[in-house]
Amino acid sequence: MITRKSSKVLVAVALLLASFADAAQRARTFSEALEKAGDDGVVAYCYGPDWNQRSVDLLNSFWRSPAAEEAAGNAVMVAVPFYEKDTAKGAGEAGEIRGNMPEPPFMVCPTVMFFDKNGRQYASFQGADYLGSDDECTEGVKNIAKYVQALRKQQELMAKAQPLIGQEKAKILAEVADLPIAKPNNLMQELELADPTDKLGAIRRHKFDALQFMYKQLDTPDGFLKPDFEADYQQMRKDCEAVFKDEALRPRDRQAVYNLLIGQSRREAIPGNQLKGFIKKVNKLDNTTDYGKLSPTLVNLWGNLKHKLTPEERKAAREAKRAKDKEKRNKKRDERRAKDTIEIE
Amino acid sequence: MKPKYVFLITLAAGLAGGYLTAPGLLPALQKAIYGERVATQKPKKPKADATEAPKEEPVVEATTPEQPAEAAGEEFDWSEDPDDGLDRFADAHDPDAFEDGEEEDIEEVDDPEGENITPERIVRYRRKTETLGEDDGLRPVNEPNYTGKISPAVWKQPKVLKRRLAGRLRSRLKGVSQEKIEAYLQNPEVRLMLAQWELLHRSNLEALSKLMKDRNARNSLAPLLNDLQWLTGFVYDGELSQAEVALSMLAHFRQVDPHMDEEVLKDGDTGKQGLKRRVAGAIATQFTRNGWYGEERELSKEELESFKDLGYIMPTLPGDKKRGKNKQDIYRAARERYLFFAESIDGNKLNGYFATLPTWLLHYCCGWKGNSPFGTASTMCWLRDNCAAPARAYTGMAYQVPYLPTNVYGDSIFSQWYYQPFDVLYPGNFAKETRDVGAVCGGLSHFGTSAACANGVPAFTMGEPGHCAYAVYIDGEWRGANSLSEDRHPHWNTWGEYTWSALQMQTAMYKQGAITRDAQMVCTLATMLSEHRNPVNALKLYEMAVQMQPLYQPVWTYYMDTAARSLGKRPRKWLGVNDFVCQSITPEHPEMCAKFLRERIYPTMLKAMRSPKQKLAAFEAYFKNINTNEKAQWDFHLLLDMQYGALGKSRTHKDAFMTTLVENVAKHPEFCQMIAWAIKTAHGEGKPFMKKLMAHIDEAVKAHPEAKDLLSCGVIRGAEEIGDVELANKWSADYLDAGKSMPDFEPVGGNLVSAGGLVTLSKYNDDQSSIIHHAAALTEKGGHIYSAFGKHQKVTIELPKKARIGGIVIVPTNGCGSYRTWGIEISADGKSWKKLTDLPDGSKEPCIRVCIKRSHPTAKFIRIDSGEDQLVGINFKAVLVYDNKKVK
């Protein structure tokens, strides 16, 4: 017979069990964590026991807090020490705890690293910018939840995509690629197979490199501008506009490309209104990115740049242009002559 | 005769004979004299400072319970010293009380070894150093925990205090023999007084007096100035210039942080005791020394008021005229830096390494560039919270910043536009801005350095040819980071010269912390005696100080200034000094020793020495003592030219010099560039002399076969510099088959005419080892030609004979991609050059083939220019020149 009192106990037990159903486990070593790991993988906290007191203090206030455990879901949590002198790597207790775990991208503490159940690192974050400055690391807790959920989503989508083919599969794979964590190893190859002509534009989106685009436009292999480089403004504008219009690309990449056009327009001293127009387009595309946020500043800085030439300056500019044209003509002539006599391969 | 006169006569006689060594006798005499002097002794000169001593307001005594009890007879209570006491003391030890040329009677040193510095003495001090043990430079000098008793009010008259300290120190000094000095320095009170005297010696006393007349300032400074551990670190562990300005800054720090002496300590965390004080001292010293201001801006009314209230002296520093009223900004920048470290210490936010740092290393991380946007408190705060790493990891921290010479707007890093648009997103946080926007070598290295310093790990940026790198102090040594070359020049240093060698020497000196501190104190004592007209004992003490710590650069300057007169024209004595310098500095620090010999010893010594034999012996001492494997990447030719020039016209002695040089370089072939110098010099002396030199080199190679490669590099470089094709080819013969893998390329026609030619470079690379492969690089087997980095580096090929050029093949070591604005010139005489062609920009090919189809120019010299790029030099596997004739 269930009394009122026992029913209360049963409810409490049920609630407790329910809470355990989605609670992170702890492991002493990274290897043990991988063994225990389920779909939520492993979340590792890197700290410096003998050199970074802050990361040691956060072990209790943040890493062992219920909030962090809740955020980690069913992931196995492991705290990994990194000592000042790393001579004992692979040996001793610290070596045992770390096992095969890779070092953080930059050996900064505290760092939180995320691994799937196969030991593949899919995310990491470090420093106060991502952990927050408070002792409970509110920001860090949010980020743990964000990445663990992204992994779940990734797995869910990959499972969903498994039986599909063609565009349907490509759509889901594209969604996977857009998640804020490392892509599964063969994702891009699978995407190329599913959408060989890139109808969705996802391949283009993930392969586009704004920096390389800029280097190509500026005719530089390494980013150092050639002293006598002169951009073909009209061609550059055409190329930038084309990229900017490509909605398959990420807004930030499109903005980056348009930034090059803005910079070149300033260098070419095009009318202020036109420049302002370019800047506003960047802002309109996405005002939450850094480039979008910069727009008002750029309008102030560059949108009103005016330089009226004095008669002397105008004369000097004319003469300089004439001399430059002459030099170009001579250069072409020399090159033509040289071509007749010297062949370079 | 009245008793007081008996005492006075006894005192004079006792001092003269050096008999006043019985404990308590001298203080008893002093007591008797001070007690009755006012009525009897006439001052020799009016004492303006003493008579001006105002009546003192009540002051808080700054003493600690640990203060050791002193013998009653030796007690001198500064705090209870009435005004007339100042007078009495000043008179009793007034320097002006001694007539010119007359010396105070302190016992002469009992020196069985004579006046000369002897190698045996070095051994004695070395032994002492060894027993104390050299460490990783992280062990602070173990000064006793002692607190002095000078009341704050006494500092109001620094001139008087300085004189009183001198008198007190001299009265305690029983002799200048080593044993007596060692015993003297055992007394913590003496050590404190020496440090206080040194502080006053380095201050503008009038300005200091002005500062100390502010009651708040002197009350907050007095505990520091009575703290032996803190004061010795402040005075001796960095270059303290304008001490009064640094003190005014310290007083300001103590006002903004009343808890400076109260570190938040956890259980067993005693290492941090006094840390904030030491940090404050390091910041004040470096900011004052460098004249660093914060960001230039108008001060707010409140700030101006607060500065006015403090009544601090305003320093005169570089740039004052330009900056006008913003002088006070120096306090703001330094205060922000101090508060950053104070908060970080209290919050336990720095690397654990920081609390173990001795004061000299604190100067590096706390005093790091106050004038850099990477040095602002907000930037350092961000770096502390986001780039906390173990010390070893800071050598790689720079690579968080992407290397981007052009920003997203297409603006070059060398233009004003590069960071301008982004400033608004990162107010006051240049480190984060750099990490997000990008930078080139300078930004990367500053980021790495600032990240290290902000976390309490010493670091600094440094220049390398065409590059900016940085160094981090890890495990007892400075480790290069983001570094491309060993030719390094620190951008700043906590004291002395901004050279890598000077830094290494200072580091070695501070690692022997205890002995260095004693030597510094002996040096202070010597300076004090020198000021009080006791040059004989001052000289002996300077000599003792250099023997104790020969790596302490400033003491050499004082010693040589004092010694020059007494050494006069006595060559043997000079030889002794020369040998001592060479034995104590040359082994590990040949560059610093060479500089010191050139600047401080040779100018006087060489005048004193007439016999070339003696000169040769002196020069040999330098070479014999070299004991380092580091390459000679400094201006050694200045030393060699000076030495060689001093031998006059005697060929015999010059030949002997060359023999010594070659023999010693063979033992340390890293100095092979000296062989190139020898060849160039011998070339000017004529063929017979050159022949003899080459015979010496042959012998040296036989005696040291292991040094053959590097000696050959020296010879070939010398031959290249004098244009001796035959000599270069003779010494290259063994290296023609270097086995470099050459790419396949289509022949350009004609016969190879470059083989057997001569390579010369506009600037040679530090890595000399490639020189032996120059000749092979002119053959189809391939070799290596490697110049320094920088714009327009040139390699010139002198063909064995004139030829009509049919084609040229250039094989860069790492492909042609790095070369963007390179080209070829030709010349018939090596003087007038004609451009042959520009070469393609950034080609992806492994080699470049230039085929000349029609008008084949005649040339004997071919020159290749690496172009505009700073970070590119000549790095070729081969340069092959073909004629236009049919292939034989």
Q: Does A51 touch chain B (CB under 8 A)?
A: yes
Residue B326 has pLDDT above 60, yes or no: no
Specify which of B621-635, B655-669, B804-818 reaches the highest per-range mean pLDDT.
Answer: B655-669
How does pLDDT run across A73-84, given as a tens digit for each residue?
A: 999 999 999 988
How does pLDDT run across A186-238, given as a tens digit for each residue?
A: 999 999 999 999 999 999 999 999 999 999 999 888 888 877 778 888 899 99
pLDDT attached to residue B295: 42
**What value does the mean pLDDT of chain B take?**
79
Averaged over B560-586, what is the pLDDT? 84
Residue B57 has pLDDT above 50, yes or no: no
Chain A interface, mutation test: which of B380, B395, B409, B862, most A Cβ atoms within 10 Å? B409
- Provide, as residue numbers in chain B, all residues whose Cβ is less than 8 Å from the Cβ of A345: 746, 845, 848-849, 851
pLDDT attached to residue B725: 93
Percent of chain B at pLDDT > 70 equals 78
pLDDT attached to residue B769: 82
Candidates B405, B410, B839; nearest CB to A224: B405
Q: Is the four-CA dihedral B407, B413, B415, B419 of positive or negative sign?
A: positive
Confidence class of residue B554 from pLDDT cuts 50, 70 and 90? confident
pLDDT attached to residue B330: 61
Cα–Cα dist B550/B561, whole Å: 16
pLDDT attached to residue A22: 54
Percent of chain A at pLDDT > 90 equals 59
- Judged by CB atoms closer than 8 Å, whether chains meet at B405 and A222 is answered as yes
Higher pLDDT, A72 or B111: A72
CA of B783, closest CA in chain A: separation in Å? Answer: 22
Averaged over A27-55, what is the pLDDT? 94
Candidates A57, A128, A214; nearest CB to B385: A128
pLDDT attached to residue B758: 95
Chain B CA closest to residue A125: B386
Lowest mean pLDDT among A1-5, B6-10, B378-382, B778-782: B6-10
Averaged over B101-128, what is the pLDDT? 44
Confidence class of residue B316 from pLDDT cuts 50, 70 and 90? very low
Averaged over A123-144, what is the pLDDT? 93
- Provide, as residue numbers in chain B, all residues whose Cβ is less than 8 Å from the Cβ of A109: 388-390
Averaged over B578-605, what is the pLDDT? 91
Percent of chain B at pLDDT > 90 equals 45
Lowest mean pLDDT among B50-64, B549-563, B577-591, B598-612: B50-64
DSSP B356: G
How does pLDDT run across B781-836, given as a tens digit for each residue?
A: 999 999 888 888 999 999 999 999 999 999 988 888 778 788 999 999 999 999 88
- Provide, as residue numbers in chain A, all residues whose Cβ is less than 8 Å from the Cβ of B425: 290, 293-294
DSSP A59: I
Higher pLDDT, B101 or B78: B78
Residue B96 has pLDDT above 70, yes or no: no
- Judged by CB atoms closer than 8 Å, whether chains meet at A106 and B400 is answered as yes
Task: Please state whether the peptide bond connecting residue A110 to the residue before it is cis, i.e. omega within 30 degrees of 0.
Answer: yes
Chain A CA closest to residue B349: A54
Averaged over B400-420, what is the pLDDT? 92
Residue B115 has pLDDT above 90, yes or no: no
Residue B12 has pLDDT above 50, yes or no: no
Residue B231 has pLDDT above 60, yes or no: yes
pLDDT attached to residue A137: 93
- Judged by CB atoms closer than 8 Å, whether chains meet at B425 and A256 is answered as no
Averaged over B26-43, what is the pLDDT? 32
**Six-digit token string for B15:** 């001092």
**What value does the mean pLDDT of chain A take?**
86
Cα–Cα dist B481/B450, whole Å: 13
Specify which of A218-222, B53-57, B308-312, B583-587 reaches the highest per-range mean pLDDT.
Answer: B583-587
Chain A CA closest to residue B438: A223
* Backbone phi, psi, residue B844, to 5°: -90, 0
Residue A8 has pLDDT above 70, yes or no: no
- Judged by CB atoms closer than 8 Å, whether chains meet at B421 and A294 is answered as yes
**Contacts A–B by Cβ distance under 8 A:** 157
- Residue B407 near residue B418 (C-beta atoms within 8 A): yes
Cα–Cα dist B628/A190, whole Å: 60
CA of B837, closest CA in chain A: separation in Å? Answer: 8
Contacts of B618 (CB under 8 A, 6+ apart): B574, B575, B578, B579, B605, B609
- Counting DSSP H helices and E strands in chain A, the numbers are 16, 6
Confidence class of residue B14 from pLDDT cuts 50, 70 and 90? very low
Candidates A263, A340, A343; nearest CB to B851: A343
Confidence class of residue A305 from pLDDT cuts 50, 70 and 90? low
CA of B659, closest CA in chain A: separation in Å? Answer: 47
Q: B224: burial class by Cβ within 10 Å (0-12, 13-18, 19+)?
A: buried
Confidence class of residue B632 from pLDDT cuts 50, 70 and 90? confident
Distance from the Cα of residue B752 to its chain's centroid: 51
How does pLDDT run across A91-119, given as a tens digit for each residue?
A: 578 888 998 999 887 889 999 999 999 99
Confidence class of residue A313 from pLDDT cuts 50, 70 and 90? low
How does pLDDT run across B696-733, given as a tens digit for each residue?
A: 999 999 999 999 999 999 999 999 999 999 999 999 99
Higher pLDDT, A176 or B39: A176
- Judged by CB atoms closer than 8 Å, whether chains meet at B390 and A84 is answered as yes
Contacts of B197 (CB under 8 A, 6+ apart): B162, B165, B166, B169, B524, B528
Residue B325 has pLDDT above 50, yes or no: no
How does pLDDT run across B69-81, given as a tens digit for each residue?
A: 333 333 344 443 3
Cα–Cα dist B60/B46, whole Å: 32
Higher pLDDT, B84 or A294: A294
Cα–Cα dist B639/B593, whole Å: 10
Measuring CA to CA, which residue among B302, B301, B293, B300 is closest to residue B327? B293
How does pLDDT run across B471-487, given as a tens digit for each residue?
A: 999 988 999 999 988 88
> Would you tell me how many other CB atoms lie within 10 Å of the CB of residue A338?
16
Residue A309 has pLDDT above 90, yes or no: no
Higher pLDDT, B4 or B75: B4
- Beta strand segments in B545-678, E: none
Measuring CA to CA, which residue among B279, B293, B186 is closest to residue B234? B279
- Residue B250 near residue B223 (C-beta atoms within 8 A): no
Three-state DSSP class for residue B475: coil
- Provide, as residue numbers in chain B, all residues whose Cβ is less than 8 Å from the Cβ of A225: 405-406, 412
pLDDT attached to residue B678: 96
Averaged over A288-300, what is the pLDDT? 91
Cα–Cα dist B227/B223, whole Å: 6
Q: How many CA atoms lie within 13 A of A129 on its CB side?
A: 14
- Judged by CB atoms closer than 8 Å, whether chains meet at B848 and A345 is answered as yes
pLDDT attached to residue B129: 46
Averaged over B866-878, what is the pLDDT? 83
**Six-digit token string for B456:** 């309490």
Candidates B746, B837, B854; nearest CB to A344: B837
Confidence class of residue B766 from pLDDT cuts 50, 70 and 90? confident
pLDDT attached to residue B310: 40
Measuring CA to CA, which residue among B474, B500, B498, B497 is closest to residue B487? B500
Residue A34 has pLDDT above 80, yes or no: yes
Higher pLDDT, B464 or A142: A142
ipTM of the complex: 0.86
Cα–Cα dist B8/B15, whole Å: 11
pLDDT attached to residue B856: 83
Lowest mean pLDDT among A264-268, B234-238, B706-710: A264-268
pLDDT attached to residue B653: 93
Q: A198: burial class by Cβ within 10 Å (0-12, 13-18, 19+)?
A: middle
**Six-digit token string for B342:** 């104070």
What b/e string do you get for B836-867 counting C-beta neighbours within 10 Å, with b at 16 or more?
bbbbebbbeebbbbbbbeeebeebbbbbbbbb
Residues 77-116 of A with CB under 8 A from B: 82-86, 106-109
Averaged over B860-884, what is the pLDDT? 88
Q: Is the four-CA dihedral B469, A106, B350, B422 of positive or negative sign?
A: positive
- Provide, as residue numbers in chain B, all residues whose Cβ is less than 8 Å from the Cβ of A133: 385
pLDDT attached to residue A64: 94
Q: Does A269 touch chain B (CB under 8 A)?
A: no
CA of B495, closest CA in chain A: separation in Å? Answer: 29
Cα–Cα dist B114/B572, whole Å: 12
Residue B271 has pLDDT above 60, yes or no: no
Three-state DSSP class for residue A43: strand
Cα–Cα dist B668/B624, whole Å: 10
pLDDT attached to residue B49: 39
Measuring CA to CA, which residue among A49, A121, A124 is closest to residue A81? A49
How does pLDDT run across B163-218, given as a tens digit for each residue?
A: 999 999 999 998 888 889 999 999 999 999 999 999 999 999 998 998 898 888 88
Confidence class of residue B329 from pLDDT cuts 50, 70 and 90? low
Q: Does A154 touch chain B (CB under 8 A)?
A: no
